[in-house]
Every structure is written in structure tokens, then in C-alpha cells.
Structure 1
């Protein structure tokens, strides 16, 4: 599970969220740019979590969606998992 939690996608999403939280501490008003920043962060976080879920499912030999970056790799990842 550690290899999933410390993936670069999740780390970058968390650091982006921290940056956005720091921006809220200032006395700046909440503008449409801030809203777009939060929406972008939410999409990035959702995609990173989806990639982790797809990688885990593919490594267990289960089917993943066709639009996933791991589509078609289920057999290879399952073989790697069973080997070591």
C-alpha cells in the first residue's frame, strides 16, 4: 500500500492543496481565479486517486476501464505481483 500512497500523483496533489490553503490565509478576497484553482486541485486529486485504484485493480488481475492508463496491462501486472 505504501507504493500507492507515495506515488508522485498523490504527492503533487497534496502539495498543491497545501499551497492553495496557504493562499487562503492572506487577506485576499475569494475570486473566480481562486475557485478555478480549487476546481483544478479537486480534478487533479480525483485523477491521482483513480490512477491508484486502477493500478491496484490491474495488479490483482481485475478489469479496469478502457480509458485508464493501466488498461491492457492487467496480465503483466498480475504476473509481476505473483512472482515477487
Structure 2
């Protein structure tokens, strides 16, 4: 579980979300740029969580969807899990 929580994608999404929250607290006006930043953050967080889910599914022996970066490497993740 530790390798999923400390992945670079999740850490990046969390830190960028925290910096945007800090900007909201300081009273910065909410402009269209801020809305795009929040939209970008949401997409980044969704992709990071999706990658974690795909890796988890691949390591349990399930096939990953074809559009996943893990697709085709399921045997590698299953082998790593079985070695532990």
C-alpha cells in the first residue's frame, strides 16, 4: 500500500492542491485562470488515482484496460507481487 500512496503522481497532485487551497485562503480572487487550475488539478488527481487502480488490478492478476499505461505489463506486476 505504501508504494501506491507515495507515488510521484499522487504526491504531485496533493502538493499542487494544497498550494491552490492556500491561494484561496489568502483572499485571491477566483478568476477563470483559477478555475482552469482547479480543472487541471482534478484531471491530474484522477489520472494518478486511475494509474494506482490499474497497477493494483494488474498485480492481482486482472487485465488492465487497453488505454492504461500498464496494459501489456500485467505479468510483470503479478510476478513482482508473487515474489513478495
Which runs of 5 or more structure 2 residues have no equivalent in the other structure? none
Over 6 Å off, 4+ runs: none
Match of 1:74 in 2: 74
- The Cα RMSD (Å) is 0.8
Aligned length: 84
Deviations for 1:31-79, whole angstroms, at most 9, x for unmatched residues?
1000000000000000000000000001111011111110011112111
Match of 1:41 in 2: 41
Question: TM-score under structure 2 normalisation?
Answer: 0.95
Match of 1:51 in 2: 51
Question: TM-score under structure 1 normalisation?
Answer: 0.95
Which runs of 5 or more structure 1 residues have no equivalent in the other structure? none
Structure 2 distance, partners of 1:72, 1:4, is 20
